[in-house]
Amino acid sequence: MAYALFKDEEKLSRTFPTKEEALEKAEQAGLVEHTEDQPMLEDDLEIKPCAPDPKPHDDADLDWTPDKAAS
């Protein structure tokens, strides 16, 4: 199963093979806050299961932010 970052049901990131990897990449993008040693996504962001992307992507494709949807 693949996972991606969503806001209000809109997919914002490419897919990742695990929820943990999606969270790690969101943290690298500055979208994660740490409270009581627990990572929490900013605002209304969620990591949810989804269909995998039709084309494979690499880390060069990680130019997403909450204001810019994934292509």
- The model carries a pTM of 0.74
The ranges assigned to domains in the chain are 2-49
DSSP annotation of 57: -
Residuewise pLDDT in 10s, the chain (71 residues):
899 999 999 998 889 999 999 999 899 888 998 888 788 898 889 999 999 988 876 666 555 544 554 54
Nearest to 58 by CA among 10, 27, 21, 32: 21
What does the alpha-carbon distance between residue 34 and residue 1 come to, in Å, rounded to a whole number?
26
What does the alpha-carbon distance between residue 55 and residue 29 come to, in Å, rounded to a whole number?
22
Q: Which residues pair with 4 in a beta bridge?
A: 48
